[in-house]
Chain A
Amino acid sequence: MIDKGSHIGHLKWVLQEFCKAFFEVDELKMRFRPSFFPFTEPSMEVDIGCDRSGGEVRVGEGNDWLEILGCGMVHPNVIRNCGLDPDEYQGFAWGMGIDRLAMLKYGMPDLRAFFDADVRWIEHYGFRPLDLPTLFGGLSR
């Protein structure tokens, strides 16, 4: 997201709101840690609060942390190379693995199954084509 005023405060809000909506929890502990990526400055990694005590990961509970994404303010060189003046334009970027997020949300144990096309797996985890989850209709099916 690039404009003339978006800063780390906005980035934190966007990611907090996203994670709360996606994981369908009212309160979610989040931790922003300074990190390094060549294309953002400052750069951060984000952890969410979870509970690992029962062998599976439960998001929104407990005292453990789980790293879910990297983010930061778009590096001035990137903005410049896109033909904009980094003293005037600014913004943030983030990235997360969608398969990993799905694993967390649905408690899927194995990433490889995503690419195996086992019809039993697709039937179990898939959505009905005319009843896709929406925020206003609820994300759980």
Chain B
Amino acid sequence: MKFTLSWLKDHLETDASLDEIVETLTRIGLEVEEVTSPADRLRPFTIAKVLDAKPHPNADRLQVLSVDAGDGAAPLQIVCGAPNARAGLVGVLARPGDYVPGIDVTLSVGKIRDVESFGMMCSERELELSDSHDGIMDLGEDAPLGASYAEYAGLDDPVIEIGLTPNRPDCASVSGIARDLAAAGLGTYKENRPAPVAGEGACPVTVRLEFGDTPPLCPAFGLRLVRGITNGPSPDWMQKRLVAIGLRPINALVDITNYITFDRGRPLHVFDAAKVSGDLVVRRGREGEELLGLDGKTYRFDDSMCVISDDNGVESIGGIMGGELSGCTEETTDVLIESALWDPVNIARTGRALGVSTDARYRFERGVDPQFCLPGLELATQMVIDLCGGTATEVMFTGELPNSDRMIDFPVAEVKRLTGLSLTTPEIKGVLTRLGFWVTGSGDTVKVAPPSWRPDVHGKADLVEEVVRIVGLDEVPATPLPNLSAVSGRVLTPGQLRRGQARRALAVRGLKEAVTWSFISRAQAEAFGGGRRDLELANPISPELSDMRPSLVPGLAAAAQRNADRGYPDVALFEVGQIFGDDTPKGQSMVAAGLRRGTAGFNGAGRHWSGNAPVVSVFDAKADAEAALAAIGAPVEKLMVLAEAPDWLHPGRSGELRLGPKTVLARFGELHPRVLAALDLEGPMAAFEVYLDAVPTPKSKARAGRSKGALDISDLMPVRRDFAFVVDEAVTAERLLKAARGAEKTLITGVTLFDVYRGAGVAEGQKSMAIDVTLQPRDRTLTDEDIEAVAARIRAAVEKATGGTLRG
């Protein structure tokens, strides 16, 4: 919303300076976005007179002018190409050193075809006043020589632009802004209520609101004919204000409607009565109906939209834009002025559906003052008669003005309760009254009726906001929170703790934390088991961000590839974030994922004199996943490793970590070559995903201070024994280790695989697996018999589970 300072003062009697006004606007919630003064840009330009114009000796189209700058100095020699330059013309002078905005040039003394030029006479386009470049400006003989052109032209009126929040339709008008400023103590609001204009005879055009059984999209409609007018350019003062706020003056009738839209927040429309045939019907649009709008575009309607039609068809998009064919031109002699009310929600929907944004739509969709519908029509009538002459008929009014009366019981203590601000009842009542609220009562609770122009005010909290914004938020003292406990309790949820634990564990392992988008491309989603319709975005920013991610790995793989493309091929990245299995809250889960590329292993990357780092493999990914699981408290030693994995992982170099037969806690492996190829990635890439939500939370809450049991360690030396078993190729290490571990529950404290051998001495189709078993005695040193007994149980258990025998 833009307005000028002089315009504001039409509605506000004030001595306040521009700075005070700007500061107050922001303080009361009408945030000033910009203050511009056209005069600043035009300050250097002065009014000067051409004394003499002679042909240029070396150019046919140029003249050499002698110009009196009005400063008492000798005339300036200026070379000019304008066809209208002539002796006696009074125009606008720019001198060397002046910046001319329209041509983006700072002038210097120039030589044009061997004749020196000490400045230029400007056209309107050169000063960015209009697009006119037919010649230099011709101000008329009485313009004062030497004076500032901006001042002479009345362009020294600062333009203020405020960013209006959607709850304040009343301040989409200069008068509404003035009312708010007056309430804040910056002067006196001038009521300026339009006086009714007496009409002669009934309006010959009647209006019917025809909505049948459907909700009325236009509750009230006022119309009036003014006959015998002379349309033409609107007066200078009006054009200047419209131009200042960025509107293009068209003709007096149209300019009046635009002026009142901004002056009072009351959009109007004018029809050329000669082009309207029959009565006006306000109704829903019909499929296939069209209108050529005032903006030159054609709009097509359906029955969700509201139109104004006559015998010729649709003439206007109700409350949004009029039609070109029934619009007013300089030839218009009889004008129909419309002032109506429209359903705000329907205006917003229609505007969106048609893709049309107008000053009328902006106001109607936010909610105009219903009580100003008819006063606005009177004001427009008066301005038409004042500026264009003519005689008005009576007002044709149909429909009903909606009742906007509300009564709020307002305990004045609410102000203190919600803001901490101590104000007296008279102070509170004073603010509300100055804003136009009707307040009655004097006890603890007063009755407040908001004015018709404030559709946003419904309850007590709204009234508190009105009071505190006008009194000023600066008046609210910053108040320390009461200190309820010396030491605060735990605030992080188990989920938050896990995320932190996983992050730190992975960062310590040398992976760098990345944040990638939750949206990925369709191709990425499909390659990673996604691409479901319900996870496709309705309105993606770009095709590269079209689907919710089913996995963090595609984002990390793309990030690693970007680094590789920049010359950093060995990167290890991780991310903790959400993945999406479907479009329900349950389908969303928290994951810690990581990816290593090239040789970025745990022990470093690249070449080194002591040995080059190997390329990353499934085992790097497995170790990372186990580290993250251990960090969040998952029972890593109890997990099963299965050679199963989703199809985006290499089938022979991947696996899953499960707790029990069904609960998958992690997946890891090298990316499938097909996925790499499909997504233009270069491997090797080894990745893992840990499903943080899948790890069960410990069931029994440990007793306070006793979350760990007492430590029981033995003073006796542990005993280690190695066993080598020959097993079938299909037997996994997992099976063998599990069998050995379970052979004896009290003495065996550790079993690890330290060698796998195939070749001479071992039959084809078999392999030798060597394990290292640790026995920890508890109460006495183990004898050879004790150890042999355990060894026998291990041999038996392994043979039973795997069919393996001790290697001879």
Where the two chains meet, the residues of A that have a C-beta atom closer than 8 Å to any C-beta of B are: 5-10, 12-14, 16, 32-36, 41-45, 73, 75-76, 86, 90, 114-120, 122-123, 126, 129-130
Shortest C-beta distance, A91 to chain B (Å), equals 10
The interface residues of chain B lying within 8 Å CB-to-CB of A10 are 420, 479-481
A-B residue pairs in contact (CB < 8 Å), sample of 22: A7-B419, A7-B420, A7-B479, A8-B419, A9-B419, A12-B477, A13-B479, A13-B481, A32-B476, A34-B468, A35-B29, A36-B168, A42-B418, A42-B468, A45-B31, A73-B418, A73-B461, A118-B563, A119-B512, A119-B568, A126-B513, A129-B507
User: B414's closest neighbor in chain A, by CB?
Assistant: A87
B487–chain A nearest beta-carbon distance, Å: 14
User: In the complex, A32 Cα to B573 Cα: how many Å?
Assistant: 41
Q: Is the CB–CB distance between A7 and B480 below 8 Å?
A: no
Q: For residue B482, give the distance in angstroms from its CB to the closest CB of chain A.
A: 8
Question: Is the CB of B459 closer than 8 A to any CB of chain A?
Answer: yes
The reply to whether the CB of B56 lies closer than 8 angstroms to some CB of chain A is: no
Decide if B478 touches A34 in the complex (CB within 8 Å).
no
How far apart are A3's CB and chain B's nearest CB, in angstroms? 9
**Are B563 and A34 neighbours in the complex by a CB distance under 8 Å?**
no
Pairwise interchain contact A122-B514, C-beta atoms closer than 8 A? yes
How many residues belonging to B are interface residues under a CB distance threshold of 8 Å? 50
Shortest Cβ distance from residue B633 to the other chain A in the assembled complex, whole angstroms: 18
The reply to whether the CB of B18 lies closer than 8 angstroms to some CB of chain A is: no
Pick the residue among A6, A9, A41, A114 that contacts B477 (CB under 8 A).
Answer: A9
Residues of B within 8 A of A13 (CB): 478-481
A129 to B479, CA, bound (A): 36
A-side contacts of B517, CB under 8 Å: 115
Contact B459 A76 (CB under 8 A): yes
Please indicate which of the listed interface residues A6, A34, A120 has the most CB atoms of chain B within 10 Å of its own CB. A34
B465–A34 CB distance below 8 A: yes
A80 to chain B, nearest CB (A): 11
Is A36 in contact with B420, judged by CB distance below 8 angstroms? no
Instruction: Name the residue of chain B whose CB is nearest to the CB of A132.
Output: B504
Measured CA separation A129–B469 after assembly (Å): 45
Question: Least Cβ distance of B479 to chain A in Å?
Answer: 3
B479-A126 in contact (CB<8A): no
- Shortest Cβ gap from B804 to chain A (Å): 43
Nearest CB of chain B from residue A37's CB, rounded to whole Å: 9
Q: CB-nearest residue of chain A relative to B509? A: A129
| Cα A69 to Cα B168 with chains together (Å) | 21
- Name the contact of A42 in the complex, choosing from B419, B513, B516 (C-beta under 8 A): B419
In the bound complex, CA of A43 to CA of B460 (Å): 14
Q: Which residue of A lies closest to B419 (CB)?
A: A8
- Our pick among B31, B418, B508, B514 for the contact of A35 (Cβ within 8 Å) is B31
- Contact call A33/B473, Cβ cutoff below 8 A: yes
Q: Is the CB–CB distance between B476 and A12 below 8 Å?
A: yes
Q: Which residues of B contact A119 (CB under 8 A)?
A: 512, 563, 568, 571, 573
* Complex contacts, A43 vs chain B, CB 8 Å: 465
**What is the distance, in angstroms, from A9's C-beta to the closest C-beta of chain B?**
3
Instruction: Give 1 or 0 for each of B475-504: 1 = CB within 8 Å of chain A CB.
Output: 011111110000000000000000000011
Closest to A91 in B: B418
Chain A residues near B562: list those with CB within 8 A. 116-118
Given contacts A73-B418, A117-B573, A129-B508, contact A33 B27 (CB under 8 A): yes
Q: Which of B417, B473, B474, B507 has the most CB of A within 10 A?
A: B473
**Could you say which residues of chain A place their CB within 8 Å of the CB of B26?**
33
Asked if residues B418 and A8 are in contact (CB atoms below 8 Å), the reply is: yes
The contact of B479 among A9, A36, A114, by CB within 8 Å, is A9
Q: How far is the CA of A75 from the CA of B514 in the complex (A)?
A: 36
In Å, the complex CA distance between A120 and B573 comes to: 12
In the docked arrangement, what's the CA distance between A33 and B468, Å? 10
Question: How near does chain A come to B435, taking the closest CB pair, in angstroms?
Answer: 13
Residues 627-657 (chain B) with a chain A CB within 8 angstroms: none
- Judge whether B468 and A8 touch: CB under 8 Å: yes
B701 at the interface (CB under 8 A from A): no
Smallest beta-carbon distance A45→chain B, Å? 8
Of the listed residues A8, A10, A14, A120, the one surrounded by the most CB atoms of chain B closer than 10 A to its CB is A8
Q: Which residues of B contact A35 (CB under 8 A)?
A: 29, 31, 165
Q: Contacts A119-B568, A129-B507 given; indicate if A16 touches B461 (C-beta within 8 A).
A: no
Question: B561-576 CB contact bits vs A (8 Å, 1 = yes)?
Answer: 0110010100101000
Check A6 against B481 for contact (C-beta < 8 Å). yes
A35–B25 alpha-carbon span in the complex (Å): 12
CA–CA, A44 to B29, complex, Å? Answer: 8
Query: How far does the alpha carbon of A24 sit from the alpha carbon of B556 in the complex, in Å?
Result: 34
Residues of B within 8 A of A129 (CB): 503-504, 507-508
Contact between B481 and A42 (Cβ–Cβ < 8 Å)? no
Query: B197 an interface residue at 8 Å Cβ cutoff?
Result: no
User: B477 — nearest CB in chain A belongs to which residue?
Assistant: A9
B519 CB → nearest A CB, Å? 11
Contacts of B387 in A (CB 8 A): none
When distances are taken between beta carbons in the complex, the residues of chain B under 8 Å from A34 are 27-29, 465, 468-469, 473
A7 and B418 in contact (CB under 8 A), knowing A34-B29, A116-B559? yes
Q: How far is the CB of B652 from chain A (nearest CB, A)?
A: 29
* Residues of chain B contacted by A130 (CB below 8 angstroms): 504, 508
CA distance A106 to B781 in the complex (A): 63
Is B465 touching A42 in the complex (CB atoms < 8 A)?
yes
B155-179 with Cβ < 8 A to chain A: 165-168
Q: Chain B residues near A115 (CB, 8 Å)?
A: 515-517
Q: Which residues of A contact B28 (CB under 8 A)?
A: 34
Indicate if B464 sits at the interface (CB-CB under 8 A): yes
Q: How far, in Å, is A22 (CB) from chain B's closest CB? A: 16
Instruction: State the CA gap A115–B516 with chains docked (Å).
Output: 5
**B31: chain A residues within 8 A (beta carbon):** 33, 35, 45
Which residues of chain A have C-beta atoms less than 8 A from B571's C-beta?
A: 119
Q: Which residues of the other chain, B, contact A14 by a CB distance below 8 angstroms?
A: 481
- Could you tell me the distance in whole angstroms from the C-beta of B484 to the nearest C-beta in chain A? 9
Q: How far is the CA of A10 from the CA of B484 in the complex (A)?
A: 14
With a cutoff of 8 Å between Cβ atoms, the chain B residues found around residue A7 in the complex are 417-420, 479
With a cutoff of 8 Å between Cβ atoms, the chain A residues found around residue B165 in the complex are: 35-36
Closest 9 CB pairs of A and B: A9-B420, A34-B29, A129-B507, A9-B479, A36-B165, A42-B465, A117-B559, A34-B469, A117-B514
Q: Which residues of B contact A123 (CB under 8 A)?
A: 512
**Could you tell me the distance between the alpha carbons of A10 and B421 in the complex, rounded to whole angstroms?**
11
Q: Determine the distance from Cα of A54 to Cα of B16 in the docked complex, in whole angstroms.
A: 32
Query: Quick check: is B462 within 8 A (CB to CB) of the other chain?
Result: yes
List residues of chain B with CB within 8 A of the CB of A126: 512-513
Q: Beyond A9-B421, A41-B464, A44-B473: 5 further Cβ-contacts under 8 Å?
A: A6-B481, A7-B419, A117-B512, A117-B559, A119-B571
Instruction: Evaluate whether A42 and B461 lie within 8 angstroms (CB atoms) in the complex, with A8-B468, A10-B420, A119-B563 already known.
Output: yes
Q: Which of B74-105 contact A (CB under 8 A)?
A: none
Partner of A75, one of B419, B461, B508, B573: B461
Complex CA distance for A12 and B420, rounded to whole angstroms: 11
CB distance from A117 to the nearest CB of B (A): 4
> In the complex, what residue of chain B is closest to A92 when comparing beta carbons?
B418
Smallest distance from the beta carbon of A75 to chain B beta carbons, Å?
7
Rounded to whole Å, the gap between the CB of B376 and the closest CB of chain A is 25
